[in-house]
Structure 1
Amino acid sequence: MKTQANSLIGAVLIAAAALPSGALAADYARGAFGKTPDGEAVEAITLSNSHGVSATVITYGATLQSLVAPDRAGIKADIALGFKDADAYARNASYFGASVGRFANRIGKGKFTLDGKSYQLALNNNGVAALHGGVKGYDKVVWKVVEVKRGPVASVTFSHVSPDGDQGYPGTLTATATYALDEKNQLTITYGATTDKPTIVNLTNHALFNLAGEGSAEGAMGNVLTLASNGYTPVDAELIPTGVITPVAGTPFDFRTPHVIGTRVRDARDPQMVIGRGYDHNMVLTGKAGGAPRLAARLTDPKSGRTLEILSDQPGIQFYTGNFIDGTMVGKSNKIYRQGDGVALEPQHFPDAPNKPAFASVRLDPGQTYRNVMVFRLTTDKK
């Protein structure tokens, strides 16, 4: 029996196939995706193009629930980890595909100071840090659908208003998330935010990918990764950056040339790998942040040829190998998710930036607009 999301994808593909030659094929379909435990309805929007690429996004957490891509033989697979209905997302604290904020990643001790005033956030990460916006971050609320479009680019825009004091953060923050799929097989996610008083912001998408297909028996550790990064931010025992930037040369963090992730993920000779149980680190991206998105990462499955390139305008990208996925969650294809079944590459500002003066500022003032643009470009390696 097909899931609701798969039925949506099928409907869109049938509609696209029926279009006359030369017609604009980027389209969308909307449908129900179940309800949250408190009865709030969740909707799914599937974007699709004429090349067999589709992305399903749900209103719960403005979450990327599915990303379908063909391999070098044209065989399609869903490459994003996720669940089959809203209730499963609410029950599993996974962050799979979610829009996370108000501040993605960790803030040490859940504390920061802004304009001389100290703020205490909930310690929702083992009692030692604030993680991904708090106990009820943006991943755990139903976002409003603002607009959907079809044409050369199919898109959906969501919005969420976070009141002053929400999860301990100052200022009323109005956040937007736009997912746009074009005919070049590019899914662009654009986050924006404005505030009515000084605050801190760091929004990103927490998708976990496996280019072999989510739920595949081999997991994602056979994926080959390349990173445009000469340095990374080491962490302490609580996974909080120490504040220094360490060169990747001569370490397991050197992905400047392609490497199979699994060959290094258990390298206990580097204490940072032991602390993170693998990779769970912010990589410092080369090139200028804040301009046009530049190539940040390339992830490839050698067997299928599916390739995902990530372009970003942010200073860093969090590289995480699913180290804390413990086999207690069942994914949308009824496969148990285990450690190493997905790889997260999250364009972002640096973790704990409010407490590290050397890191780029994450402050947002009234009259300013926060922006994070990431492009997920799907191609195939032809061998």
Structure 2
Amino acid sequence: MNYLIKGALLATAMIPLSAQAGEATRASFGKTADGKAVEAITLTNGHGMRATVLSYGAILQSLSVPDRAGKSEDVTLGYNDMQGYLVAPNYFGATVGRYANRIKGGTFAIDGKTYTLAKNNGPNALHGGLKGFDKRLWTVEKVTSGDTASVTLRYIAADGEEGYPGQLTVTATYALNEKNELSVEYTATTTKPTIVNITNHSFFNLAGEASQRSIYDHVVTIPAETTTPVDKTLIPTGQLRPVEGTPFDFRKPTVIGSRIRDGRDPQIVFGQGYDENFVIAKAPLAQPVLHARVEDPSSGRVMEILSNQPGVQFYTGNFLDGTAIGKSNHAYRQGDALALEPQVFPDTPNQPALGSARLNPGQTYRNAIVYRFSTTN
């Protein structure tokens, strides 16, 4: 019996420490167009997960997750070098802001003063402008190894940058724990009343970025009773539309491809697939709640997304056109990935009935997102 105990203790002692706790490492990832160095910070845990975050755009460059057989593969779209992010960024893995999603006509008003933004999406403003947070170099503030590996990045947006009022100090903290949860928390403070809506725009394919499988076989659940339907320029009409009886009813697990081409629904036509905000709550919550669950039957990978935000934009990569060549040297095409972006509702600054995106001095904006991974048999 004593020999058995001794053997068990020896076996335990021989387990590498790296398998017991998360690690964070730093490396070079090339340079920006004006020659500034970009860092890649890689977070790992003891269960086969690995996330790499760039100081450029606070981008999630890769995320490796085990399948049901324990094989880890990258499940996000992106590039292996800076050239791709400079030439054809496509918001792959990006932190988007100051205002994610669309603002009608590229204008909004605060306290009677009108602010004008770049119209970079037809007649509207999208994802913070021509040079939003996704195209800025962030400062690496802190890198931590331990039970939870993490990196905190900071960016200071100048008063007037891209047309938005107030100097905005933003932090993005990525953290990977031993429960196979990758969290991303965004915070922001301002020197003047402004609007803020920051989210992560990662494109996921749970079959693997290299699989060449579409996400149309993925099974999605979104616990939303309504959406905010849009006009032909993808601006909310101001109504809340019940999902019941429409292709947007994901309250029960539903295969994406089963209704994505239902041309009888004008929302499918306008978005060329799914590209709509689902209503999770009326206002930001104190703590994250489930926004969506995604399962890939082929690999067994399951991703749950939680956030404290009131809405989640569900987008099925409808405008990927084959011109972007990704990490596995494959052309990314329509349906190769999906995005689920927790945020306040689109065009909220112009539609008070949809909530508020206002941030005042002395307040702190917060979007807490959790990507929780598991597998099914």
TM class by smaller structure:
over 0.9
Residue 236 (structure 2) pairs with residue 241 (structure 1): yes
Residue 308 (structure 2) pairs with residue 304 (structure 1): no
Amino acid at match of 1:97: G
Report sequence identity in percent.
59
Secondary structure at the residue paired with 2:249? coil
Deviations 1:184-237 (A, max 9, x none): 000010000000010000000000100000132222111110001111010011
Preserved contact between residue 230 and residue 286 of structure 1 (Cα < 8 Å): no
- The alpha carbon displacement at 1:287 in A equals 8.2
Query: Which sections of structure 1, spanning at least 5 residues, go unmatched?
Result: 1-16
- The alpha carbon displacement at 1:283 in A equals 0.5
- The alpha carbon displacement at 1:117 in A equals 0.2
- The alpha carbon displacement at 1:286 in A equals 4.8
- The alpha carbon displacement at 1:25 in A equals 1.7
Root mean square deviation, CA, Å = 1.5
Preserved contact between residue 283 and residue 355 of structure 2 (Cα < 8 Å): no
Amino acid at match of 2:167: T
1:37 alignment partner, one of 28, 33, 40: 33
Distance 1:74 1:214 in 2: 17
Secondary structure at the residue paired with 1:88? helix
> In the alignment, what sits opposite 1:101?
97
Secondary structure at the residue paired with 1:269? coil
> In the alignment, what sits opposite 1:282?
277
CA change 1:39–1:18 in 2 (3 A) is farther
Q: How many equivalent pairs are there?
A: 365
Larger Rg: 2
Residue 46 (structure 2) pairs with residue 50 (structure 1): yes
Residue 347 (structure 2) pairs with residue 357 (structure 1): no
- The alpha carbon displacement at 1:18 in A equals 8.6
Deviations 1:19-53 (A, max 9, x none): 64697420111101111222121110000000001
Preserved contact between residue 102 and residue 125 of structure 2 (Cα < 8 Å): yes
> In the alignment, what sits opposite 1:206?
201
Distance 1:198 1:19 in 2: 53
Distance 1:274 1:238 in 2: 11
Q: TM-score, normalised by structure 1?
A: 0.93
Moved over 3 A (4+): 17-24, 286-289
> In the alignment, what sits opposite 2:116?
120
Distance 1:242 1:22 in 2: 52
CA change 1:193–1:22 in 2 (3 A) is closer
Distance 2:83 2:260 in 1: 32
Preserved contact between residue 170 and residue 186 of structure 2 (Cα < 8 Å): yes
- The alpha carbon displacement at 1:370 in A equals 0.3
Distance 1:215 1:337 in 2: 10
Distance 2:23 2:14 in 1: 12
Residue 335 (structure 2) pairs with residue 314 (structure 1): no
Q: TM-score, normalised by structure 2?
A: 0.94
Distance 2:222 2:135 in 1: 30
Amino acid at match of 2:212: A
- The alpha carbon displacement at 1:311 in A equals 0.6
Query: Which sections of structure 2, spanning at least 5 residues, go unmatched?
Result: 1-12
